[in-house]
Amino acid sequence: MTGKARTAPGSRRRSRARSVSTHPVAGASHALDVDALIHDDHTRIVVCCGSGGVGKTTTAAALALHAAERGRRVVVLTIDPARRLAQSMGLTELDNLPRPVEGVGTPAGGSLDAMMLDMKRTFDEVVEAHAAPERAAQILTNPFYVALSSSFAGTQEYMAMEKLGQLSAQASGRWDLIVVDTPPSRSALDFLDAPARLASLLDGRFIKLMLAPAKGPARIFSAGFGVVTSALNKVLGTAVLRDVQTFIAAFDTLFGGFRARAEKTYALLQAPGTAFLVVAAPEPDALREAAYFVERLTQEDMPIAGLVLNRVTVPSPGLEAERAQAAAERLDDGDGDDPLVAAVLRVHAEQARRSSREKQYARRFAGSHREVPIVAVPALATDVHDLEGLRQIGTLMAG
C-alpha cells in the first residue's frame, strides 16, 4: 500500500469522503453507508476519532465486531486508557498482544482480535528489534530511557504510530482490516504530528550537543562543550546528565529508523485504503469538536469516511411536543385521574423537544460540512456492556 507525501503545514487539500446514496441526516448531502465501507476489500484501516464521552471506543468495537461477523478478519487496537473495550468484549484484560474474542459469529469466515496499546512495551519491542542485543540491554536499563518510555509527553502518540505500523506489516495473511480507537478529545490527532515532532527532536541542537561526546574524543575536550556541560550539570545534576548522554549515544543508531517508520505510517494513514470515522454526540460541544477533527483531517489530506452521530434521541410516534405537554398539564389540573398518563405525556414531550434540538445541531454541522457523509445511531435504553450490545450498535450503524 502506497501513500502520498505529507501535506505541507498550512496547505489544504480536498478530503476523500466516500460518497454513498442512502437516506442522509437532514442537511447532509448523503449518508454514510457503513456496510459498503467494511465490505470494500480495499478498506484496510479504519481510524475512529472524536472527543471524550461520545461513544468512540464503543463505536470502534462495534464496527470491528460487525465487520468480523460479515467475513472480515479484524484486529481492533485501542489506545484509550479506559478498560471499557475489554469489558464489552468479555475479555478480562487487553494488552500489547492481539487476543481472540470468543463468541464472534464466524459463518462468513471472519475473525476478531483485540488489543490495547502498552506504550512502554511497544517502545521496548522497537529497541529490541532494531538494536544489537548488547546495545538494547544498555538502552533498556538506562534511567532516562525508562522515564522517556513510560511518561514522556508525546510518547504514547508516537508508539501508537509504531504499533499501527507493526500491525499493518503483520496483517497479510492474518488480518484484512485494522480498526483503531484513539484517545479522547483533540489529543486523538496528536499522532498525526508525531513524525514532525520526532524529526524536530532529532534535529534539535540539544540532541546534537548531547551526541558530541560520542562523535570523537576531540569534541569531549572542546571549550564550548565544557562550558555547556558545566551549566547543564548545575541544572540537571551530574548523574542525570550522564544518563542522558549515555542514552542518546546508545540510541543514536535507532533515530533514523524511528523517523523512517513514522513517516511510512503517516503515509499509510493518507493512503486510499485508510478511512477516518469522526465520532460525535448530537450536542453543540461534541459537534464543534467534530468540526475541528474534520477540518484538521482535511488539512492533512487524510481520507474521511464520514461522521458517526451517536446516541441520537428517537421520539415515540404520536403527539407533537406542544400538544403532549398541554395534555399533561390538563391532567395535572384535574381533567383526568391517571397521573401515570400525565407522566408518560411529559416524557414524550421532552423526547420530542430533545430530538428537535438534536436535529437542529446535526443540520448545522451538515450545512457546514456537506462533503462529509453522516450516519445517526439511535440511543439505546441501557449501556453497552457485552457482545450483544455491540452487535446492536453495529446493526444500527449499518442501518
Specify the DSSP class assigned to residue 114: E
Scan for cell 468512540, then name that residue: 56
For residue 94, give the nearest of 104, 85, 103, 107 by alpha carbon: 85
pLDDT band (50, 70, 90) for residue 394: very high
The cell for 81 is 486508557
pLDDT value at residue 219? 47
User: At a CB cut-off of 8 Å and minimum separation 6, what does 275 contact?
Assistant: 18, 37, 43, 45, 46, 47, 303, 304, 305
Kind plus residue range of the DSSP H or E element containing 99: strand 99-100
Dmax over CA atoms of the chain, in Å, equals 99
Where residue 358 falls among pLDDT bands split at 50, 70, 90? very high
Confidence at residue 224, expressed as pLDDT on a 0 to 100 scale: 43
What the chain holds in terms of domains, given with CATH numbers, is: 34-398 (3.40.50.300)
Distances in whole angstroms, Cα of residue 128 to Cα of each of 20, 121, 153, 255, 386: 45, 10, 22, 14, 37
- Rounded to whole angstroms, the Cα distance separating 181 from 1 reads 21
> What's the CA gap between 53 and 273, in Å, rounded?
28
Mean pLDDT, range 279-308, rounded to an integer: 94
Cα gap 257→253, rounded to integer Å: 8
Q: Return the pLDDT at 68.
A: 96
Q: What percent of the chain has pLDDT over 90?
A: 33
Residue 32 buriedness (CB in 10 A; 0-12 / 13-18 / 19+) = buried
Q: At what angle do helices 119-130 and 155-171 cross, to 10 degrees?
A: 60
Q: What angle do CA 278, 283, 289 make, to 5 degrees?
A: 40
Paired sense of beta strands 99-100 and 111-116, if any: antiparallel
Helix (H) or strand (E) holding 86: helix 84-88
| 118-121, Cβ contacts within 8 angstroms, sequence gap of 24 or more | 119/149, 119/150, 119/155, 119/156, 119/159, 120/149, 120/150, 121/95, 121/96
The DSSP call for residue 333 is I
Dig out the grid coordinates for 38 from the structure. Answer: 467494511
pLDDT in tens, 61-112: 999 999 999 999 999 998 765 666 777 787 777 788 899 999 998 888 899 9
How far is the C-alpha of 94 from the C-alpha of 140, rounded, in Å?
24
pLDDT value for 21: 35
- In the prediction, which pLDDT does 41 show? 92
| Mean per-residue pLDDT, 291-304 | 93
CB atoms within 10 A of CB 296: 16
